[in-house]
Structure 1
Amino acid sequence: MKRRWISWWIANIIWIILFIVGTAVVWTREVDGAGVTQTPQLKLLAFIVLLIAFAFPLIIQIIWLIVNFKANKRVL
C-alpha cells in the first residue's frame, strides 16, 4: 500500500519537474528549432501545445490516484 503512494508521489514530482523545465524552455527561448523568432503569441501557442501534451499523463495520474484511494478503502 505504502509503495503505491510513494510511487505516485515520485511520478508526480517527475512530471511537475518536466513541465516546469518545458515551460521555462518555451518562455525563455528567442528562436525555436525551425529558426522562427518567438513572439509572445507564438510562445503562448507553444505553451498551449505543452499543456495538451501533459494532459494525457495528468489523466493517468488522476486514475492512479483513484485506484490508490480504492485500494486503501479495501485494506482498511
Structure 2
Amino acid sequence: MKIQILGTGCPKCEKTAKVVREVVEELGLDAEIEKVTDLNEIMAFNVMMTPAVAIDGQVKIAGRVPSARALKKLLD
C-alpha cells in the first residue's frame, strides 16, 4: 500500500503526516508513506485544498486534517 500526503509543508500538512504515521503503526500495516510537496504533483491529483491523503493513487481525504478514526476506517 502506498499512502501519499499531499501538501506544501504547512502545519496542517505536518499534522496529517503525523496522524498517518501513527495510524499505520498502530494498525501494523506494511505501507509506504510519501510526502508530496511539489505543487505541480499535487495539482496532478486534482487537489485544490491541502492537506490531502491519497491511498494507492486515489485521493481519499482533501482540505482537512483527517482524524485517526477516519484514517483507520479507510485503511482497515
Sort the TM-score into its range (normalised by shorter chain): under 0.3
- Per the normalisation by structure 2, the TM-score is 0.27
- Per the normalisation by structure 1, the TM-score is 0.27
Larger radius of gyration: 1
> Which is strand-richer, 1 or 2?
2
